[in-house]
Amino acid sequence: MIRLLSLLNFVAVWFHNSKARRFVECEESVKFTRNAFVYNHGDKKNIKLGSHVLIDGIIECYEKGELIVGDFSYIGRARVFAAHCVDIGKGVYISDGVVVMDSDLHPISGRKRYDDLVAWRRDGVFPDVYTDIIYKKTVLADFVWVGANVSILKGVTIGEGAIIAAGSVVTKDVEAWTIVGGNPAKLIREIPEHER
């Protein structure tokens, strides 16, 4: 019975991996867990995953967006939105509950947001994530570690080796080899050479 359950689990994971691969450019070494979802509203080439990437969360790329994830990076049960460009380096750890965005995704106008929602729910017209919406490239450099339940907002660059404390809201650039935390995220300390 245990062998049968193991075989069924293997088949389910294999099926999920092969299905997710249809929407991204990636090598065979990339893995998608059963929790992973890929929403690609554009072309397959808009999402590029490096070797040995592990996706356990949701990645979503819009028609004009670009999502790049470097080798040996991990995206936990998080959500990454790319309407413009999200560039995640190699060896990056993104913990559960994290949100990474490069856009507001919705207009400032409450009336426009309402009209978009009505059109989406009533008529099946997906909301326009470009007209009158601010977007800026978001970058997580190599070896970044993002703690649980962090929000990383549009236009932010997180420098190499930086650590973002759990529950933080990152609204501004983060220097390389630093630890930041809070809402908004502020410098806690630098990471000395011997800890890098």
Active centre residues (catalytic): 106
Task: Enumerate the β-bridge partners of residue 182.
Answer: none
Q: Name every residue whose Cβ is closer than 8 Å to that of residue 81 and which is 6 or more positions away in sequence.
A: 60, 62, 99, 100, 101, 102, 103, 105
Distance CA 21, CA 76 (A): 18
**CA angle (152 as vertex; 71, 61 as ends), nearest 5:** 60
Coil, strand or helix: which one is 170? strand
- CB 135 within 8 Å of CB 156: no
